[in-house]
Amino acid sequence: MPSCLRIREAVPGDAERLAQWACAMARETEHLELEPATVLAGVAQGIADGTKARYFVATDEVVLAGDEVLGRPVGMLMLTREWSDWRCGHWWWIQSVYVAPEHRRHGVFRALYEHVATQARAAADVIGLRLYVERDNADAQRTYAALGMDDAGYRIFEATLRAR
């Protein structure tokens, strides 16, 4: 049975899986062990409040006999917005990207990215897409470059004001 990828907005029932994936991504890319309950609360709030974040889920769908569709989540990304006074518009930041290991290198991130890019192009107040990547994550950097993204030349500094 052939399958196809479909991208949809996350719903509250996705929160637990997305939180697990966010923890896995932090472990894989930054060697961080996050507090699962905190991540779950953050994901749930992001799904519930579109001003905080928007989550998208890639599902691998198979049409069964009788036109029944079976879809299983295989990847995710989160979008946040940043206002640019220089350009009088929003940057959409792609964050919390995760593709289940057995689905990597099969176009899942490309499908998520293209879905978001199409929405961004259709929104009059969006000037572009941005993301940050670990400086040693060469595979991800090659993937982003293959999609037409360029290194913007910035370094990120932070001051953690409150640990959760």
pLDDT per residue as tens digits for the range 65-96 = 777 767 899 999 999 999 999 999 999 999 99
| Beta-bridge partners for 94 | 79, 131
| Over residues 151-161, mean pLDDT | 91
| Over residues 136-149, mean pLDDT | 93
Q: Check residue 164 and give its pLDDT.
A: 63
Phi, psi of 138 (to 5 degrees): -65, -35
Mean pLDDT of all residues belonging to the chain? 93
Q: How far is CA 13 from CA 40, 44, 119, in A?
A: 11, 9, 23
Q: Would you say the pTM of this structure is higher than 0.85?
A: yes
Q: What is the pLDDT confidence band of residue 61, given thresholds at 50, 70 and 90? A: confident
Q: What is the pLDDT confidence band of residue 64, given thresholds at 50, 70 and 90? A: confident
| Rounded Cα gap, residues 63 and 18, in angstroms | 24
Domains of the chain plus CATH, in order, are: 3-146 (3.40.630.30)
| Over residues 88-117, mean pLDDT | 97
Q: Check residue 85 and give its pLDDT.
A: 98
| Beta-bridge partners for 75 | 58, 99
pLDDT at 2 over 90: no
Q: Residue 39 is inside which H or E element, if any? A: helix 36-48
What proportion of the chain, given as a percentage, has pLDDT over 90?
A: 82
Decide which of 67 and 156 is more confident: 156
Residues 6+ apart with CB under 8 A from 142: none
Q: How far is CA 5 from CA 21, 57, 88, in A?
A: 18, 10, 34
3-state SS assignment for residue 60: strand
Question: Given phi > 0 = left and psi -120 to 50 = alpha, else beta, which region is 105?
Answer: left
| Rounded Cα gap, residues 26 and 101, in angstroms | 14
Which segments of 10-114 are extended strands (E)? 54-63, 69-84, 89-99
pLDDT at 63 over 90: no
